[in-house]
C-alpha cells in the first residue's frame, strides 16, 4: 500500500515517541477475520477486496475507535482524524477522484457496522461529498444532470435527518413530489430536483440555525461522529438489550467510494441470500431494484423485483454475481447475505455476511453443506442452536398473520413453545366438554392444579396469570407438547365473571385467543398457524442422527401415557425417565376409587369394621386400572427402560377442596338437610381437615406416603410387575424400573425397598415368571445427595428430581417464586439465570456431583439420570454430561433438543459457546 494510514499518528507528535493506535484500516490490508475490530461489514469488505472481488475502494475505522470516542465523551481519539484523511487520500488515488474537487468529485458512503448485525439500528449516510459546486462536477462527469441533483437531494435529506437530527425532511420530500404532481421520485426531472434540494437545505438551515455544511471534510467528520453516536442511540441500545448483545462492542465506520445504482436503466441495487433463508433451498434468493439506491429498497419507496428478474435483464451481470456468491460461500463456508450495486452495467459488491435464517433453513443448510463437502458433521452440529430445533418442532404463527395482529394484549413466561389458537374457557369441565364437541379451547386459569388435568389434556393451549416455568401448568403442558404461557400477570383473569382483561381489552368465554408459547405473547383473536411436518423432516433426522453418533449421555422422556411414550419414541427417546403415576389416578372414572382408598386408609377411619374391606376393594380396583396403564406404556417402549414413579403428591390433592366442601356442608345444614348424603359430605370434610397441612410440599408426600400406607405402593408395584410379566408372556421385552420419590434417609430407602420387593416377589410367585427390574430412588432433597452412599446400598438407580432439589436447596417455592421475585432477581442480575430453568451448577449442581460420587462409590454400576424440567434445557444437559450422568429425561417435545444438546456436549461445547 502506498499510503501509510499511521502517518497521522506520527504527525500527531506523540511526545514519548510511541506510535498511536491504528484506528483506520484500508480494506486491502485490514485483518479480514477480525470482526471484533472491523465489525461484520468492515471484515466482509476487507475479505472481498483481498479476494480480488469487485469492491469499491474503502477503509474502515475500528470499533476500538468508537469505544475511545464514547469514553472521551464524543471526541475523536488522538490520531484518528489524521489517519482518516490519509486513508481518504488513498481511496482518492485508487478511484482517481477527489473529495470536494469541483471538477472531479469523489463521493463516499459512511456506514455503520458492528460485530453483530443490528439491521437498521444504527446510522448510514450516502452520497457524502456533495455541495453546490461538486454537484455540477458530478453532472458533467456523468453527463447526467438529473442523476447529480437526485444524488444531492438524497444527501441533503439523509445528512439533515441523520447527522443534524432535523425532523420532517422525508415528509417535506413527499410533499414536494405531490406538488410536482408525481408519485415516484424517478419521475422528477433535474430542474425539479434542484429546486427540492435547495428547499431541503433551507429547511435544514431554519431548523439548525446554521447553513447546510458545504465543507466536505466537515461533512465527513460529522457523519463519522453521527455513526459512532448512533451506537448509543435508544434504538440500538434497546435492540442489544433484547438480543443480549454486549454494549461495549462498539460499531466500526466504513467509508466506501460511492457507486451508483441510480445512473439509469443499466444500473440498479439489490440484496440477496446465497440460499433461501426460510427454507434453506439452494438457490439465490433476493430482491433487486433497477435505477435505484439501496435506501429505496429499505424505505420501501418502490417495490423491488425478484432477483431472477435481474437474470432476465442482464444475464452476464447475473452470472458474474452468481459466481461471486458461490465463491463467498466457499470462503465463509456458510450461506451469505449480500448487498450489491450495478453501475452502468458493472457489478460492485458492498457487503457479505453470514445470513440470518429460520430454524428450518439452518438445519437444511448445515446438512446440505456437509453433503457438499464444505463443512464437517461436527461443524454442522455446532451451527445448530436449540431454538432452531424448537422452531421446527412446534407450530408457529404465520409471519404475515403475526404482523397483522399488531401488539399482544399481554405477555407472560414462554413456558411451553408453539402457537395455539382457540376459544377461551375458564374451567376445566367446560374445557373438556367443548373439546369433546370438537372446539379448540385454550384453558385459561389464574393457575392450574392437578384437579384441572382433565381440562388441560384436551385443550390446545394453556394460559395462566400466575406461576413460573416449573409451575403445574408449565410442566404438564411441556410434557404434553402443548403451548403454554404461564404467569402472565398483566392479564386479569376473572374466572367467576368468565372474562379476562388485559391492557384495556376484555375477552369473554368463547372468544378467540392466540398464544405464542415460544415468545410468551398473548393475542386477541385468531392468528393463522403453520404446522411442522416432523416425520418428513429428513434433514433434522440426519442432523440428530449425527448428534446420536457422538453422544455420551442418553435421552429419555417424561411420559405418563402410551400416546406420550409413542411420541417420545418417535422423536428419538431411548427410554422413559419418569412416569408420574398420580396423573393416572385422575383419569376419567378413577377419582371415586382414589377417594375411597384415602377415606378408608388405616388411620383415616381406624376402628371401623368395614374400613379395611373398603380400602382393599378400592386398591383392587385401582390395581386393575394401573395394570392396564403400565401395560400400555411398557408395550409402547418395548425393549427400552421405563422408570415408573410411585405416588408422590400429598393425598389431599385427590380430594375436593376444603372451602368447597365447607360451603356445601354448610348449605346442606342451613337447608335442614340430613341423611346419607350429608353424612358422606361431612366424612369427606373431616378427612380433608385431617389431611390438612400448613406446608404440604414438605409434608406427607413422596416416600412418606409409601411408608405410612404400604398397601398403596405395593398395589402399584404389583401392577407394574404384573404388566411386565404379562408382556413377557406375550414375547415382549419390558424393562420396568420402580422409583421411590422424595427419599431422604437410609431407613426410608430400606423400608420402601423391602415393601416393594415383597410385592414383586408375590407377583413372581403367582405368575411363575420373573422379569428383570430395578428399584431406585429420586434424589430431590439435599440430604439425599449427602447420604447418597447410604441410599445406594439399596437403590439400584438414582434420578435427580431437580424441580424439588432446586426448591429445597434454595428454599424457593417452585410454585410461587417465579411470579413473585425470581423475575426481578434475574432482571437485576441478583441471580445470573432462573435456577428452575437451568441447573445452578454451584449449589444444586454441587450437590448433584456429591450424590453421583458417593452413590457410585457405594454401587459402581449405579444408573444415574435426571428427570426434573432441567433435563430438556441445553445448558443443563451439558452440565449433566459433564458430571457423568447416564441420561437426561425431558418432556417428549424436547427430546430432539436434548439429543442435539447431548451431541454438542459430547463434542465439548455448551450453548454459551456460541
Ligand atoms: C422433580 O422434583 O424434579 C420431579 C421430577 O418430580 P415432580 O416434578 O413430579 O415433583
Ligand atoms: Mg419432585
| pLDDT tens digits for range 748-806 | 999 999 999 999 999 999 999 999 999 999 999 999 999 999 999 999 999 999 999 99
Sequence-separated (6 or more) residues with CB below 8 Å from residue 16: none
Tens digits of residue pLDDT in 214-261: 999 999 999 999 999 999 988 788 778 766 788 899 999 999 999 989
**Per-residue model confidence (pLDDT) at position 319:** 95
350 to each of 54, 58, 112, 438, 664, how far by Cα in Å?
9, 10, 13, 55, 76
The x, y and z cell numbers of residue 337, run together, are 447475505
Ligand at minimal distance from the CA of 478 is 1
Say if residues 864 and 852 touch (Cβ distance below 8 Å): yes
CA–CA dist 790, 238 (Å, integer):
53
CA–CA dist 401, 829 (Å, integer):
36
For the residues 464-481, what does the mean pLDDT come to? 76
**Per-residue model confidence (pLDDT) at position 675:** 87
| Burial class (CB within 10 angstroms; exposed 0-12, middle 13-18, buried 19+) of 180 | middle
For the residues 460-473, what does the mean pLDDT come to? 82
Lowest mean pLDDT among 163-167, 413-417, 666-670: 413-417
Catalytic residues: 472, 867
Beta strands 484-486; 491-494: pairing state:
unpaired
**Per-residue model confidence (pLDDT) at position 519:** 85
CA–CA dist 466, 647 (Å, integer):
26
Number of residues in the chain: 914
Axis-axis angle for helices 591-599, 611-636 (nearest 10): 140
Question: For residue 272, how far is its CA from the centre of ligand 2 (angstroms)?
Answer: 51
For the chain, how far is it from start to end, CA to CA, in angstroms? Answer: 36
CA–CA dist 775, 766 (Å, integer):
20
Torsion angles phi and psi, residue 788, rounded to 5: -55, -35
Tens digits of residue pLDDT in 108-166: 999 999 998 776 678 889 999 999 999 999 999 888 899 999 999 999 999 999 999 99
CA–CA dist 189, 145 (Å, integer):
9
DSSP-H helix ranges across 333-375 = 359-371
| Burial class (CB within 10 angstroms; exposed 0-12, middle 13-18, buried 19+) of 766 | exposed
CA–CA dist 713, 739 (Å, integer):
10
Residue 366: pLDDT band by 50, 70, 90 thresholds? very high
For cell 406461576, name the residue: 467
Say if residues 629 and 563 touch (Cβ distance below 8 Å): no
Tens digits of residue pLDDT in 271-284: 899 998 878 899 99
**Per-residue model confidence (pLDDT) at position 229:** 94
C-alpha count within 13 angstroms, C-beta hemisphere, residue 186: 14
Residue 913: pLDDT band by 50, 70, 90 thresholds? very low
CA–CA dist 482, 456 (Å, integer):
9
Say if residues 364 and 391 touch (Cβ distance below 8 Å): no
Q: Would you tell me how many other CB atoms lie within 10 Å of the CB of residue 385?
A: 17
Beta strands in 637-744 (DSSP E): 641-645, 735-740
| Ligand 1 in reach of 649 Cβ (< 6 A) | no
The three-class DSSP label of residue 642 is: strand
Question: For residue 112, how far is its CA from the centre of ligand 2 (angstroms)?
Answer: 51
Residue 296: pLDDT band by 50, 70, 90 thresholds? low
Say what the pTM is.
Answer: 0.79
Question: For residue 580, how far is its CA from the centre of ligand 1 (angstroms)?
Answer: 9
For the residues 831-835, what does the mean pLDDT come to? 93
**Per-residue model confidence (pLDDT) at position 13:** 36
Tens digits of residue pLDDT in 421-437: 999 999 999 999 999 89
Say if residues 109 and 125 touch (Cβ distance below 8 Å): yes
252 to each of 42, 55, 87, how far by Cα in Å?
7, 18, 15
**Per-residue model confidence (pLDDT) at position 445:** 95
| Ligand 1 in reach of 115 Cβ (< 6 A) | no
**Per-residue model confidence (pLDDT) at position 586:** 87
Quick check: 37 pLDDT over 80? Answer: yes
206/392: higher pLDDT: 206
Residue 535: pLDDT band by 50, 70, 90 thresholds? low
**Per-residue model confidence (pLDDT) at position 65:** 97
Axis-axis angle for helices 538-550, 359-371 (nearest 10): 70
Taking the CA atoms of residue 426, residue 432, residue 434 and residue 440 in that order, the dihedral angle to the nearest 10 degrees is 80
Question: For residue 809, how far is its CA from the centre of ligand 2 (angstroms)?
Answer: 13
Say if residues 559 and 892 touch (Cβ distance below 8 Å): yes
Mutate to test the pocket of ligand 1, among 804, 807, 840, 894 (most ligand atoms within 8 A of CB): 804
Residue 30 forms beta bridges with which residues? Answer: none
**Per-residue model confidence (pLDDT) at position 448:** 86
82-102 core/surface letters (b: 16 or more CB in 10 A; e: else): bbbbbbbbbbbebbebbbbee
CA–CA dist 695, 808 (Å, integer):
13
Quick check: 98 pLDDT over 60? Answer: yes
Residue 573: pLDDT band by 50, 70, 90 thresholds? very high
Say if residues 541 and 392 touch (Cβ distance below 8 Å): no
CA–CA dist 475, 803 (Å, integer):
10
Quick check: 812 pLDDT over 70? Answer: yes
Nearest atom (ligand 1) to Cα of 869? 3
The residue nearest atom 8 of ligand 1, judged by CA position, is: 803
DSSP designation for 1:
-
3-state SS string for 792-853: CCCCCEEEECHHHHHHHHHCCCCCCHHHHHHHHHHHCCCCCCCCCCCCCCCCHHHHHHHHHH
443/673: higher pLDDT: 443
**Per-residue model confidence (pLDDT) at position 602:** 84
Beta strands in 140-220 (DSSP E): none
583 to each of 508, 561, 644, how far by Cα in Å?
30, 9, 12
Residue 352 forms beta bridges with which residues? Answer: 338
Helix (H) or strand (E) holding 505: strand 505-508
The residue nearest atom 6 of ligand 1, judged by CA position, is: 801
Tens digits of residue pLDDT in 315-347: 999 999 999 999 999 999 999 989 999 999 999
The residue nearest atom 1 of ligand 1, judged by CA position, is: 801
Residue 530: pLDDT band by 50, 70, 90 thresholds? confident
Q: Return the percentage of the chain with pLDDT > 70, whole number.
A: 94
The x, y and z cell numbers of residue 272, run together, are 440477496
Nearest atom (ligand 1) to Cα of 558? 5
Question: For residue 840, how far is its CA from the centre of ligand 2 (angstroms)?
Answer: 17
Quick check: 818 pLDDT over 60? Answer: yes
**Per-residue model confidence (pLDDT) at position 470:** 57
Mutate to test the pocket of ligand 1, among 648, 868, 888, 889 (most ligand atoms within 8 A of CB): 868
For 429: left if phi > 0, alpha if psi spans -120 to 50, otherwise beta; the answer is alpha
CA–CA dist 871, 880 (Å, integer):
8
**Per-residue model confidence (pLDDT) at position 11:** 38
The residue nearest atom 9 of ligand 1, judged by CA position, is: 580
| Ligand 1 in reach of 808 Cβ (< 6 A) | no
Beta strands in 698-769 (DSSP E): 735-740
Ligand at minimal distance from the CA of 869 is 1
Residue 75: pLDDT band by 50, 70, 90 thresholds? very high
Nearest atom (ligand 1) to Cα of 799? 5
Question: For residue 772, how far is its CA from the centre of ligand 2 (angstroms)?
Answer: 26
| Ligand 1 in reach of 392 Cβ (< 6 A) | no
Nearest atom (ligand 1) to Cα of 804? 2
Taking the CA atoms of residue 375, residue 381, residue 387 and residue 392 in that order, the dihedral angle to the nearest 10 degrees is 80
**How distant is the alpha carbon of residue 762 from its chain centre?**
50
Sequence-separated (6 or more) residues with CB below 8 Å from residue 679: none
Sequence-separated (6 or more) residues with CB below 8 Å from residue 707: 748, 751, 752, 755
**Per-residue model confidence (pLDDT) at position 18:** 41
The residue nearest atom 4 of ligand 1, judged by CA position, is: 801
Residue 776 forms beta bridges with which residues? Answer: 739
| Ligand 1 in reach of 650 Cβ (< 6 A) | no
**Per-residue model confidence (pLDDT) at position 299:** 53
Mutate to test the pocket of ligand 1, among 699, 776, 803 (most ligand atoms within 8 A of CB): 803
The three-class DSSP label of residue 128 is: strand
CA–CA dist 517, 483 (Å, integer):
5
Nearest atom (ligand 1) to Cα of 868? 3
Quick check: 914 pLDDT over 60? Answer: no
Closest CA relative to residue 809, chosen from 835, 758, 844:
844
User: Mean pLDDT over all residues of the chain?
Assistant: 91
CA–CA dist 169, 161 (Å, integer):
7
The x, y and z cell numbers of residue 249, run together, are 462492542
Torsion angles phi and psi, residue 444, rounded to 5: -120, 115
Tens digits of residue pLDDT in 699-729: 999 999 999 999 999 999 999 999 999 999 9
| Ligand 1 in reach of 560 Cβ (< 6 A) | no
Closest CA relative to residue 313, chosen from 270, 281, 274:
270
Sequence-separated (6 or more) residues with CB below 8 Å from residue 5: 22, 24, 25, 26, 59, 83, 86, 87, 90
For cell 420396568, name the residue: 736
The x, y and z cell numbers of residue 486, run together, are 404461564
Residue 175 forms beta bridges with which residues? Answer: none
Residue 603: pLDDT band by 50, 70, 90 thresholds? confident
CA–CA dist 394, 384 (Å, integer):
17
| Ligand 1 in reach of 867 Cβ (< 6 A) | yes
Say if residues 229 and 73 touch (Cβ distance below 8 Å): no
| Ligand 1 in reach of 626 Cβ (< 6 A) | no
Closest CA relative to residue 453, chosen from 422, 436, 428:
428
Residue 262: pLDDT band by 50, 70, 90 thresholds? confident
Nearest atom (ligand 1) to Cα of 870? 3
**Per-residue model confidence (pLDDT) at position 912:** 53
Amino acid at each position: 500500500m502506498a499510503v501509510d494510514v499511521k502517518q497521522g499518528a506520527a504527525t500527531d507528535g506523540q511526545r514519548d515517541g510511541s506510535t498511536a493506535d491504528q484506528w483506520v484500516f484500508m480494506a486491502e490490508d485490514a485483518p479480514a477475520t477480525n470482526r471484533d475490530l472491523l465489525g461484520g461489514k468492515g471484515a466482509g469488505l476487507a475479505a472481498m477486496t483481498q479476494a480480488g472481488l469487485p469492491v469499491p475502494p474503502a477503509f474502515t475505522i475500528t470499533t476500538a475507535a468508537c469505544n475511545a470516542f464514547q469514553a472521551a465523551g464524543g471526541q475523536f481519539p488522538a490520531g484518528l482524524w489524521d489517519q482518516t484523511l490519509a486513508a481518504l487520500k488513498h481511496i482518492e488515488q485508487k478511484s482517481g477522484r477527489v473529495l470536494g474537487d469541483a471538477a472531479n468529485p469523489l463521493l463516499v458512503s459512511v456506514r455503520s457496522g458492528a460485530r453483530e448485525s443490528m439491521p437498521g439500528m444504527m446510522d448510514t449516510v450516502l452520497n457524502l461529498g456533495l455541495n453546490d459546486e461538486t454537484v455540477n462536477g458530478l453532472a458533467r462527469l456523468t453527463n447526467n444532470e438529473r442523476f447529480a441533483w437526485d444524488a444531492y437531494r438524497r444527501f441533503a435529506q439523509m445528512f439533515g435527518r441523520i447527522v443534524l437530527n432535523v425532523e420532517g425532511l422525508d415528509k417535506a420530500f413527499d410533499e414536494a413530489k405531490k406538488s410536482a404532481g408525481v408519485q415516484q421520485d424517478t419521475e422528477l426531472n433535474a430542474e425539479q430536483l434542484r429546486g427540492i434540494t435547495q428547499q431541503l437545505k433551507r429547511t435544514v438551515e431554519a431548523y439548525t440555525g446554521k447553513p447546510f455544511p458545504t465543507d466536505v471534510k466537515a461533512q465527513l467528520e460529522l457523519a463519522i461522529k453521527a455513526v459512532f453516536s448512533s451506537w448509543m442511540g435508544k434504538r440500538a441500545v434497546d435492540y442489544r438489550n433484547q438480543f443480549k448483545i454486549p454494549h461495549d462492542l462498539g460499531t466500526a465506520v466504513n467509508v466506501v467510494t460511492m457507486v451508483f445504482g441510480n445512473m439509469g436503466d443499466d444500473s440498479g441495487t439489490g440484496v440477496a441470500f446465497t440460499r433461501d433463508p426460510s427454507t434453506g433451498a439452494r438457490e439465490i434468493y433476493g430482491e433487486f431494484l433497477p435505477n435505484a439506491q439501496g435506501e429505496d429498497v429499505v424505505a420501501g419507496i418502490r417495490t423491488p423485483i425478484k432477483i431472477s428478474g435481474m437474470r432476465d435483464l442482464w444475464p452476464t451481470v447475473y452470472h458474474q454475481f452468481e459466481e461471486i456468491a458461490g465463491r463467498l460461500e466457499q470462503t465463509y463456508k456458510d450461506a451469505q447475505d449480500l448487498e450489491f450495486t450495478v453501475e452502468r452495467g458493472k457489478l460492485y459488491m458492498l457487503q457479505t455476511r453470514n445470513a440470518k435464517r429460520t430454524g428450518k433453513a439452518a438445519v437444511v443448510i448445515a446438512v446440505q453443506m456437509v453433503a457438499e463437502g464444505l463443512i464437517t458433521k461436527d461443524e454442522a452440529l455446532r451451527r445448530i442452536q436449540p431454538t432452531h430445533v424448537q422452531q421446527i418442532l412446534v407450530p408457529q404463527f404465520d409471519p404475515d398473520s403475526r404482523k397483522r395482529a399488531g401488539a399482544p394484549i399481554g405477555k407472560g413466561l414462554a413456558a411451553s413453545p408453539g402457537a395455539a389458537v382457540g376459544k377461551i374457557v375458564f374451567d376445566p369441565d367446560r374445557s373438556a366438554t367443548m373439546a369433546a364437541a370438537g372446539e379448540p379451547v385454550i384453558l385459561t386459569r389464574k393457575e392450574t392444579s392437578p384437579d384441572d388435568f382433565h381440562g388441560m389434556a384436551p385443550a390446545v393451549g394453556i394460559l395462566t396469570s400466575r406461576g413460573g416455568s416449573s409451575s403445574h401448568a408449565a410442566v404438564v403442558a411441556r410434557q404434553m407438547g402443548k403451548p403454554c404461557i404461564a404467569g402472565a400477570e398483566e392479564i386479569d383473569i376473572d374466572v367467576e365473571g368468565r372474562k379476562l382483561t388485559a391492557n384495556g381489552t376484555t375477552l369473554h368465554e368463547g372468544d378467540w385467543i392466540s398464544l405464542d408459547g415460544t415468545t410468551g405473547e398473548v393475542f386477541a383473536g385468531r392468528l393463522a398457524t403453520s404446522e411442522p411436518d416432523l416425520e418428513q423432516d429428513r434433514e433434522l433426522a440426519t442432523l440428530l442422527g449425527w448428534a446420536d453418533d457422538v453422544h455420551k449421555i442418553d435421552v429419555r422422556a417424561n411420559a405418563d401415557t402410551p400416546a406420550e411414550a409413542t411420541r417420545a419414541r418417535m422423536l428419538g427417546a431411548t427410554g422413559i425417565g419418569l412416569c408420574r403415576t398420580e396423573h393416572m389416578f385422575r383419569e376419567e372414572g378413577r377419582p371415586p376409587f382414589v377417594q375411597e382408598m384415602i377415606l378408608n386408609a388405616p388411620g383415616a377411619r381406624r376402628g371401623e369394621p368395614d374400613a379395611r374391606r373398603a380400602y382393599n376393594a378400592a386398591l383392587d380396583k385401582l390395581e386393575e386400572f394401573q395394570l392396564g396403564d403400565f401395560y400400555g406404556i411398557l408395550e409402547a417402549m418395548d425393549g427400552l427402560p421405563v422408570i415408573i414413579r410411585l405416588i408422590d403428591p400429598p393425598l389431599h390433592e385427590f380430594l375436593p377442596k376444603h372451602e368447597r366442601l365447607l360451603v356445601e356442608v354448610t348449605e346442606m345444614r342451613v337447608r335442614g338437610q340430613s341423611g346419607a348424603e350429608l353424612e358422606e359430605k361431612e366424612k369427606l370434610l373431616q378427612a380433608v381437615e385431617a389431611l390438612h397441612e400448613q406446608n404440604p410440599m414438605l409434608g406427607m408426600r413422596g416416600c412418606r406416603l409409601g411408608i405410612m400406607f404400604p398397601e398403596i405402593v405395593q398395589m402399584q408395584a404389583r401392577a407394574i410387575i404384573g404388566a411386565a410379566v404379562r408382556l413377557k408372556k406375550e414375547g415382549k421385552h419390558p424393562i420396568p424400573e420402580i422409583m421411590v420419590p422424595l427419599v431422604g434417609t437410609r431407613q426410608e430407602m430400606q423400608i420402601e425397598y423391602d415393601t416393594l420387593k415383597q410385592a414383586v416377589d408375590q407377583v413372581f410367585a403367582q405368575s411363575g415368571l420373573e422379569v428383570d427390574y430395578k428399584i431406585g430412588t429420586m434424589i430431590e432433597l439435599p440430604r439425599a445427595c449427602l447420604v447418597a452412599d447410604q441410599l445406594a446400598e439399596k437403590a439400584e438407580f438414582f434420578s435427580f428430581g431437580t424441580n424439588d432439589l432446586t426448591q429445597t436447596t434454595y428454599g424457593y417455592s417452585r410454585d410461587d417464586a417465579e411470579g413473585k421475585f425470581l423475575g426481578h432477581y434475574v432482571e437485576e442480575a441478583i441471580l445470573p439465570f432462573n435456577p428452575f430453568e437451568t441447573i445452578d451448577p454451584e449449589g444444586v449442581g454441587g450437590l448433584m456431583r456429591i450424590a453421583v460420587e458417593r452413590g457410585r462409590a457405594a454401587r459402581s454400576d449405579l444408573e444415574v439420570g435426571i428427570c426434573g424440567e432441567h433435563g430438556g434445557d441445553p445448558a443443563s444437559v451439558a452440565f449433566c454430561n459433564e458430571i457423568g450422568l447416564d441420561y437426561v429425561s425431558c418432556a417428549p417435545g424436547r427430546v430432539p433438543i436434548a439429543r442435539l444438546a447431548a451431541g454438542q456436549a459430547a463434542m465439548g461445547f455448551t450453548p454459551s459457546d456460541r
